[in-house]
Amino acid sequence: MTHRAARGAEVPSSSVLETERLTLRRLTFDDDQFIFELLNDPAWIEFIGDKGVRTLADARDYIRNGPMAMYEREGFGLWLTQRKSDDAPIGMCGLIKRDTLQDVDIGFAFGARKGRLRAQADRGDYVAFQRALRPAARTAGNDLREEGHAVGR
């Protein structure tokens, strides 16, 4: 199975979105080392919180009970963001349905040590992701409404 990327090119089904330099894809258990490092980054702990990920097994549990569970439940979630040039993971971003919010939220976290994306974010990639994610968020909200869920306008 394939999906259409933002520019119309076909990409593997695990890929959600591509720009000239970045790929967003579903997280897998093979990403446990990266998730372990990201969730233990001092900036993550300061701004997002300590998720109690102390081992690679904890990282796999986080992937299973967080992003993978949301993929199953909502059809979307946090996606690994990686550079195309070397396939290095640099963070994650995507759509999140939070119990505390009526609408779908856009979430993101980029590790300071993984390409310095936080300080050097490419405006073109950021705008491309925003443009691609907004219709997805509206669609997710519309799908939730059609299923009878209360979703903010």
What CATH number should be reported for the domain holding residue 76?
3.40.630.30
2-4 and 15-18 strand pairing:
unpaired
* pTM, rounded to two decimals: 0.68
Q: Does residue 153 fall inside a structural domain?
A: no
Domain that holds residue 11: 2-127
Under 8 Å CB-to-CB from 130, ≥6 apart: which residues? 106
Q: Does residue 33 fall inside a structural domain?
A: yes
Q: Tally the C-alpha atoms within 13 A of residue 14's C-alpha that lie toward its C-beta.
A: 8
Q: Does residue 91 fall inside a structural domain?
A: yes
Inter-residue contact 84 to 23 (CB < 8 Å): yes
pLDDT tens-digit profile, the chain (153 residues):
333 333 344 434 578 888 889 999 999 999 999 999 999 998 888 888 999 999 999 999 999 999 999 999 999 999 999 999 999 999 999 999 988 988 888 888 887 654 433 433 444 555 555 555 565 555 544 444 444 444 333
What pLDDT is recorded for position 132?
57
What pLDDT is recorded for position 129?
54
Q: Does residue 137 fall inside a structural domain?
A: no
Q: Does residue 109 fall inside a structural domain?
A: yes
Q: Does residue 21 fall inside a structural domain?
A: yes
Please give the tally of structural domains in the chain.
1
Q: Does residue 54 fall inside a structural domain?
A: yes
What pLDDT is recorded for position 2?
37
Q: Does residue 148 fall inside a structural domain?
A: no
What pLDDT is recorded for position 92?
93
